[in-house]
Structure 1
Amino acid sequence: MAASYVVTLALSIYFPLLLLIAWKRWRRGRSPRHVVVVVLGDVGRSPRMQYHALALARRGFSVTLLGFCIGPSILQYGIKVVFQAVHLLWKLMCREPATYIFLQNPPGLPAIAVCWFVGCLCGSKLVIDWHNYGYSVMGLVHGPNHYIVLLAKWYEKLCGRLSHLNLCVTNEMREDLAENWGIKAVTVYDKPASFFKETPLDLQHRLFMKLGRTYSAFRASSEPLDPATERSTFTEQDAGSGMVTRLHGRPALLVSSTSWTEDEDFSILLAALEKFEQLILNGESFPSLVCVITGKGPLKEHYSRLIDQKRFQHIQVCTPWLEAEDYPLLLGSADLGVCLHKSSSGLDLPMKVVDMFGCCLPVCAVNFRCLHELVKHEENGLVFKDSEELAAQLQMLLSKFPDPSGKLNQFRKNLQESEQLCWDENWKQNVLPLLMDT
């Protein structure tokens, strides 16, 4: 009861003040080149919205980027939603009125309704960028038929129709929005930022030496004859010439980026690694592996304990938290990427694979409904459904490692020759004209 009184008191104080601010803003008018980009969550985990903000700024728009913490899980949904609504409303109204409000969904509760309301007061046009469905993400925790999930679906479907423009990440999501939600959207595929690219060998060596100071997987197992020569697990730099070369017999570098959540089943990768290790123990000719799993999340400690229990002899598993500038360098240095992302709706695509492809890194990805819009099986990577298939794919791709004639290198060449657009050029072609027309 006390919480409801607090909420009622807050609303009674805030709304008259907000209406006064809105009237003053309306009298003054809005800037034709101001855009507010809203993420009701961690902006650091929303690269697509960051890229929107950068692209807008490069085209001469004044950009305000609003990011909000989700709030403690101990709060009840109702209290949390009201608090977030009032907070977001206050932040939007205290800023210069914008021509456009770009909003990421999910999370869209309560942000869609709040941004639409502010748009009505200030004359801003609401642009929703559909990354997924919020209700389907909630369904992973509560189940698809929970009343909170059903309420969230009703809200998302109703309020999603209030926008002036809708963007989405796949053609299948565009079709689903049209058929089941009555929302017309434009597909804007995720593309890598320009800094996701293949890493030159000298920068690879510098990265490996840096990581080796903290993580043993990157440190050389033997010292070079010349003490002035630098050696990592993968590379060596000549003391005299400074030339960097790859070590003969080096391990293969496998990278997987994960959020360590239930919708990314890390046990699939762990079981596949066990099968691969057993092949080496049985005397088959495969390289050893360094498997780097980046990211942080609620299940990281759980799986770290499982990794320690395996006591691999030919596989080293490393779970670092990388500095932002090191992540693209690592992808550009790796031999193979593994993606465990499974969409809650089946309609979004993993950004981590987009980044890997930007670095011309072939990928093995767990299959789901619309993955084919990104990963072309047997062309730029492979698709698997379980640990058995992933283990077989690792065997096939690494059977001739590092032979240039192997399948792994062919996938890399296909990526190099695909000449895919970077994010900024893709945005210029597909999003900017839409803003000019609305």
Structure 2
Amino acid sequence: MAALLWLGLCGALLLLLLWSRARPAYRQGRAAAVVVVLGDLGRSPRMQYHALSLARRGFRVAFVGYAGTKPHNDILCNEKIQIVHIPEHKTWQVGPKVFQYIAKVIIQTILLFYMMLKIENPGYVLLQNPPGLPSIAVTWAVCFLRGSKLIIDWHNYGYTILSLTHGDRHPLVWIAKWYEELFGRFSDYNICVTDAMKEDLEVNCHIRAITLYDRPASFFKETPLRDQHSLFMKLSKDYVPFKARSIAEPNLPGDEKSAFTQRDVRSGQVTRPKDRPALLVSSTSWTEDEDFSVLLNALEEYERYVSDEAKLPPLVCVITGKGPLKEYYSKLIATMHFQHIQICTPWLEAEDYPLLLGSADLGVCLHKSSSGLDLPMKVVDMFGCCLPVCAVHFRCLHELVKHEVNGLIFKDSSELAGQLKMLFWEFPTAEGKLNLFRRNLRTAEQLRWDESWEQTVLPLFSNS
């Protein structure tokens, strides 16, 4: 199996040598950077932020990855950023899964080499890991032949994600671990997302990195009431929980009303109904490292609390995102019959997602790091919108979520249900911990992405 993998890498290297003399289609030059994601560009927010930060500092940026979800408009409208899509491919769906995986890696190797060689000699290549197989070896080979600097941004470890499906002792997991540790050492610089990962990289992989915490972009902020109303009216056209008649009172004459806001057409004033439901938001990539049965079980308990207590509000739970397990959980949600809770799973445009977070009452995060060393960016975005969070516990979560300060940490569905009951008690009064957490987030000195990036990452590009 390893021999087949190396055969594919050697074949790709041969392609590199053949194409290195070819005239590139995308001209960049030495005062330029390539930002590479072996995945959907629109679902790679941190790498989008890297591309924007580089462009704002005068770099010409080639943003390389797969088409799919539309990136943020700031990316699409920036003249210094050129999106370069890796061609889509289909692997054989016959034979053992290991064979299918090897075939996929070989095809990705060839296609990524091909696309990287169409870009003329960039000064820097900034690569997201994971997925690192085969992208680390491919980008290293390109940088070696062209004299470019390779910077790896370690979001997690690919081999720990593989282990969620195959188990720790599977040969593919061993190969992936060996591969990441070996080729990761060939990079010129390394960035990582937590201090815990920085320490692990140095101790176990002999790789030195700098920590760049995920920070919210400037467009993650509290949403003004008028903008909330516009968003809710837009969503009410397609999603029942946002309609006024789904939970709130029927529309009044002369009013434009959603379940959460209403606007008097004559005066233009936007207000919130006093008996509005609470809005809970969670975002996910619907993968194995997020167990959404924990949230669903907690909602079942909350339903029983609401039935017994008049001081608890009805609840709208919005779960956003795309991913392989969405269909499974959508079918499960369809079998649940609530009287006081409504769940919807929309996909929001990049411009609408910050508006939703800035309008919500509470965020829930079920991300459990496969390595225990990364942090959920969704919580960073929620904090940027001053949205308190309930997050499931894992090893280094304390680097982001401060229990009883900006949110709560739970270990199981019963604990989460108890937290929902406590936070939403006598909602929406100004007293209680929910509003205390929000006030703490408002007064906290939160660095934004651009400030943090300029202090931490820009020197890597300036001093080389």
TM-score > 0.5, shorter chain as reference: yes
1:126 pairs, out of 142, 150, 161, with 150
Alpha-carbon distance in 2 for matches of 1:70, 1:56: 30
Query: Measured at CA, do residues 345 and 17 of structure 1 come closer, stay the same or move farther in structure 2, by a change above 3 Å?
Result: closer
Query: Measured at CA, do residues 390 and 49 of structure 1 come closer, stay the same or move farther in structure 2, by a change above 3 Å?
Result: same
Give the CA deviation at 1:20. 4.8
Give the CA deviation at 1:86. 1.6
Alpha-carbon distance in 1 for matches of 2:151, 2:229: 43
1:299 pairs, out of 325, 349, 371, with 325
Per the alignment, in what secondary structure is the counterpart of residue 41 of structure 1? strand
Alpha-carbon distance in 2 for matches of 1:180, 1:371: 21
Q: What residue in structure 2 maps to residue 309 of structure 1?
A: 335
CA deviations 1:218-251 (Å, max 9, x no partner) are 111233332x210110111012110100101111
The alignment's TM-score, normalised by the length of structure 2, stands at 0.88
Alpha-carbon distance in 2 for matches of 1:358, 1:409: 16
The equivalences for 1:162-311 within 5 A come to 162-221=186-245, 222-226=249-253, 228-311=254-337
Q: What residue in structure 2 maps to residue 421 of structure 1?
A: 447
Q: What residue in structure 2 maps to residue 56 of structure 1?
A: 54
Give the CA deviation at 1:329. 0.6
- Establish whether residue 141 from structure 1 lines up as the match of residue 165 from structure 2: yes
Give the CA deviation at 1:45. 1.5
- Establish whether residue 33 from structure 1 lines up as the match of residue 39 from structure 2: no
Q: Is the 8 A contact 1:219 1:233 kept in 2?
A: yes
Give the CA deviation at 1:90. 1.6
Per the alignment, in what secondary structure is the counterpart of residue 310 of structure 1? coil
Aligned partner letter, 1:80 = K
Give the CA deviation at 1:57. 0.6
1:103 pairs, out of 127, 141, 158, with 127
Q: What residue in structure 1 maps to residue 43 of structure 2?
A: 45
Alpha-carbon distance in 1 for matches of 2:101, 2:431: 56
Moved more, 303-312 or 194-203: 303-312
- Establish whether residue 354 from structure 1 lines up as the match of residue 380 from structure 2: yes
Query: Measured at CA, do residues 358 and 240 of structure 1 come closer, stay the same or move farther in structure 2, by a change above 3 Å?
Result: same
Give the CA deviation at 1:347. 0.5
Q: Is the 8 A contact 1:115 1:126 kept in 2?
A: yes
Alpha-carbon distance in 1 for matches of 2:435, 2:148: 49
Query: Measured at CA, do residues 282 and 171 of structure 1 come closer, stay the same or move farther in structure 2, by a change above 3 Å?
Result: same
Unpaired segments ≥5 residues, structure 2: 67-87, 94-98
Q: Is the 8 A contact 1:170 1:348 kept in 2?
A: yes
Alpha-carbon distance in 2 for matches of 1:400, 1:182: 53
2:416 pairs, out of 387, 390, 404, with 390
Query: Measured at CA, do residues 15 and 104 of structure 1 come closer, stay the same or move farther in structure 2, by a change above 3 Å?
Result: closer
Q: Is the 8 A contact 1:40 1:70 kept in 2?
A: no
Unpaired segments ≥5 residues, structure 1: none
Q: Is the 8 A contact 1:292 1:320 kept in 2?
A: yes
Alpha-carbon distance in 1 for matches of 2:259, 2:28: 57
- Establish whether residue 333 from structure 1 lines up as the match of residue 377 from structure 2: no
Alpha-carbon distance in 2 for matches of 1:70, 1:352: 29
Flag as ranges the 4+ runs of structure 1 deviating above 4 A.
14-17, 23-26, 69-73
- Paired residue total: 428
Aligned partner letter, 1:67 = G
Alpha-carbon distance in 2 for matches of 1:44, 1:139: 26
Aligned Cα RMSD in Å?
Answer: 2.1
CA deviations 1:245-286 (Å, max 9, x no partner) are 010111100001112222111011011111111011123420
Taking every aligned residue pair, what percent have the same amino acid on both sides?
62
Q: Is the 8 A contact 2:130 2:155 kept in 1?
A: yes
Query: Measured at CA, do residues 72 and 392 of structure 1 come closer, stay the same or move farther in structure 2, by a change above 3 Å?
Result: farther
Moved more, 354-363 or 17-26: 17-26
